[in-house]
Amino acid sequence: MKARTSPSELSSSAVEGRTALLANARTVVVKIGTGVLTAPGGGIDRAVLNGIADEVVALTTREPQRRVFVVSSGAIALGVEQLGLDARPKRMDMLQACAAAGQGHLIRLWSEACARHQRVVAQVLLTHADLADRTRYINARAALEALVSRGAVPVINENDTVSVDEIAFGDNDSLSAQVANLVKADLLVMLSVAPGLLDDAGVRVPFVGPGDRSVDRFIRSDTSAGGKGGMVTKVRAARAAAAAGASAVIAPGRAPGVLASLFAGDDVGTLFAPDPTPRSSRAHWIAHTLRPRGTLVVDEGALKAIREGKRSLLPSGVRVVRGTFRRGDPVDIADSKGHVVARGLATYASAEIEKLRGHHTQEITEVLGYHLGDEAVHKDHLVILG
């Protein structure tokens, strides 16, 4: 597949930059989509899975300081086979059943593939609820770090059997971006059936600079057979990783040696450059992992104070409270037109902010009969969205 801009057309510094970004990556998340692992006639393509396992192991063998975390799809596709179904079911309970039947098999294939290199595989199943809870989030990070410190290969998947609706990540692209932030990765590689992001003429886009939105018009909404994500979720995941300071690549997962060639600086896939002013891991967790439980519509003065002054949101600036949330829950902060400008953790519950809105901080005790803080959302728990 021809690239939109060949490396020779890219400036030499961009090519060097690409090589440096990839070759120097120390903490890497490699996400493998269902389409990559699925054989043309159905079932898992063992040769592809073994090839990727070989490459993952080689990355850390060549560079012992490098830590690699795998996010592998394929449980549902394998479960379809295990339960003797003709096609991927639509019903949620059957999908959950497929995930349960297929996950054990998936991890066995990974274990066998890595055992050929005397490497142990560790299964890690996560739901969104696990990462939305800060204590569980920190514990998950510690467990993953302990695993790689012992040379194990963590193979992470969404716990699809118990994760539906609002506790679900929904797709492994999104999960992989959250994992990248969890382990503070400097590179996220999403291995896909596509060669990368393609433009209108079907030609690969090699590089997307920080904050570059010009490629958005190329994002098509179709997904590969058997998988849940698509280019929409991949680009969103790449941008989320970039906001946390990681590079992200969408690369052709069925191409033999794809990881080695990426790390050699070859012009493969679509590379999203990291944001030069990344958010802290915790700010990223607030902005990208948490899901808002309500919205605070604020006035112009409050908007200016949080945006430009980097100040807390005070109850006096809140005009409208939407949704029902508890103290500490994530909430969106929106302008009067409904545009969400920030996300943060509410100091007070929705019913309390409803009583406090428009009031000055000195009036809080009088209005509520108690005082938990001066602000509706404290600046330490508030993130301005891009």
- Cα–Cα distance for residue pair 294/209, rounded to 1 Å: 33
**Distance in Å, CB of 172 to ligand GLU, minimum:** 4
CA dihedral for 163, 168, 171, 173, sign (positive or negative): negative
Site for ligand GLU in 97-116 (CB under 6 A): none
Contacts of 110 (CB under 8 A, 6+ apart): 49, 53, 70, 72, 121, 153, 155
Candidate residues 54, 55, 171, 186; the one interacting with ligand GLU per rule CB under 6 A: 171
Residues 227-246 as x/- pattern, contact with ligand GLU by CB under 6 A: xxx-----------------
**Contact window for ligand GLU (CB under 6 A) among 142-150, 154-162, 252-260, 280-288:** 154-162
Q: Rounded to the nearest 10 degrees, how much is the dihedral formed by the CA atoms of 220, 223, 224, 228? A: 150
- Cβ atoms of 203 and 2 closer than 8 Å: yes
Choose between 110 and 207: whose C-beta lies nearer to ligand GLU.
Answer: 110
- Cβ atoms of 287 and 383 closer than 8 Å: yes
Candidate residues 157, 181, 270, 347; the one interacting with ligand GLU per rule CB under 6 A: 157
Q: How big is the site for ligand GLU, counted in residues (CB under 6 A)?
A: 14
- Cα–Cα distance for residue pair 186/176, rounded to 1 Å: 13
DSSP of 35-46, one letter per residue? HHHB-TTSSB-H
Please tell me what DSSP assigns to residue 51.
H
- Cβ atoms of 98 and 58 closer than 8 Å: no
Candidate residues 160, 186, 267, 375; the one interacting with ligand GLU per rule CB under 6 A: 160
Residue 252 binding ligand GLU, by CB under 6 A: no
- Cα–Cα distance for residue pair 227/357, rounded to 1 Å: 45
Residue 181 binding ligand GLU, by CB under 6 A: no
Choose between 73 and 181: whose C-beta lies nearer to ligand GLU.
Answer: 73
Choose between 188 and 346: whose C-beta lies nearer to ligand GLU.
Answer: 188
**Contact window for ligand GLU (CB under 6 A) among 5-13, 70-78, 255-263, 322-330:** 70-78
User: Which residues partner with 68 through β-bridges?
Assistant: 28
- Cα–Cα distance for residue pair 218/201, rounded to 1 Å: 9
**Distance in Å, CB of 148 to ligand GLU, minimum:** 21
For tokens 């906001």, the residue is 243
Choose between 74 and 206: whose C-beta lies nearer to ligand GLU.
Answer: 74
Instruction: Give me the phi and psi of 325, to 5 degrees please.
Output: -140, 160
Choose between 18 and 228: whose C-beta lies nearer to ligand GLU.
Answer: 228
Candidate residues 44, 68, 74, 215; the one interacting with ligand GLU per rule CB under 6 A: 74
- Cβ atoms of 56 and 94 closer than 8 Å: no
**Distance in Å, CB of 71 to ligand GLU, minimum:** 9
Candidate residues 60, 161, 172, 347; the one interacting with ligand GLU per rule CB under 6 A: 172
Residue 130 binding ligand GLU, by CB under 6 A: no
Residue 52 binding ligand GLU, by CB under 6 A: no
The encoded tokens of residue 101 equal 């039947």
- Cα–Cα distance for residue pair 7/216, rounded to 1 Å: 22
Residue 375 binding ligand GLU, by CB under 6 A: no
Residues 208-227 as x/- pattern, contact with ligand GLU by CB under 6 A: -------------------x
Residue 34 binding ligand GLU, by CB under 6 A: yes
Candidate residues 158, 267, 352, 375; the one interacting with ligand GLU per rule CB under 6 A: 158
Q: End-to-end alpha-carbon separation of the chain, Å?
A: 33
- Cα–Cα distance for residue pair 153/305, rounded to 1 Å: 46
Choose between 67 and 228: whose C-beta lies nearer to ligand GLU.
Answer: 228
Q: Which residues bind ligand GLU (CB under 6 A)?
A: 34, 73-77, 157-158, 160, 171-172, 227-229
